[in-house]
Structure 1
């Protein structure tokens, strides 16, 4: 993936080596159809992933402004210029969100905003644990499933403790624990999950079925 230096110069935009690497990786992830260009929908999706949602018409106007060859889409250099001129950051945190699997992008944005430091591998392991203990596959945990979390992670699981901790981490008062709330619990309790732990949980669940 190469930059058009003349186009950059006309736009009065400079790009460092590190920025080039991040923009290249981001562009490849955003270009969902592998066309070599980013369309309005793909740019709209990126902005939403990064917590900067815009009206679709506004995104169309932005694409038109930076679409120098009038193709209706933006190539790599046009993308870099757009990002720079619009002041849309693409640091390591933003790149992490863009490159995350589709179902984890909201959680990666949540972690970024909340300042919670989990590695990508940790998030993937925690997601696996969450899905294992979400026994009815609803995408969230009721209090009975949450009791399994406290039990299998070695935390207190007395009935009164379960209710208290459940209420503490049910931050939106929905009556369930969602994955982002589960991440806050893990962070605050300092729990570390290994692949071995996941295998143990899988075995214990099979035994109890």
Structure 2
């Protein structure tokens, strides 16, 4: 649902002499491919061109490792982290289109965009957060954009740098593609089974990122931490024992985010995805062995970290209420049900 160059433009971009020259420059070992380290150098050059003459140019910071992995996930899925000339040219074409949108919005040349500007940037990208033709500057669009943007504001300063905006675009590509593939054109609301189907599609689309995160070359990327990168993500092998969400979980989530309705709208889906990422991060923080379930003791840690410390007696009551299979532990979907009921959106 993000607008990108059409297929003809993608095929022809390999003829761009600037892209070809850039490939030769960054393919330092002359292997005919760009690896993760060489990719890091290439996108750093793009970052400098975007931030030239802005306040950001005063601080030389590398492209965040998360963004490098998302780019590799989009353009090196078949190459184990290796990008060939065609994919490299498509990547530069993609970054150029994102750069054009970013600079259109960053009219005061600060090198970053605020939340209010993010809503317009998303609209220019073809992503209407309300699903309505006139969305972008209205209160609902701003609220959804604020919820989405907050997840990428790494330093919490209320604005997104070009790096953070690229990361947002890449990650939401996966979510929007899954929505578009399973929701009929023109429809703006989904039932529980459709939500389950979309979530499973997202898990499949993000599995290659898990494989890339395990690539030894990632260890050399500045600030990279595989655990932190994967913590909020939905991918097939995120737990040792795969278990899809229960239908009751989907029903509860739709009721929570739709205000009690039986269908979930597009903008509610957007907020739901950020909620699920937050809960996955909390769950991963205590499920250290990736078993996909947490014990009562681990649940206590999760509650404390969420600012909701409970006495052991109340904790037992809560755990038993959501332990639907009576396993003595909470699986992720049971944990999500619990957090959906006891936390505010």
* Length-normalised TM-score, structure 1: 0.43
* Length-normalised TM-score, structure 2: 0.28
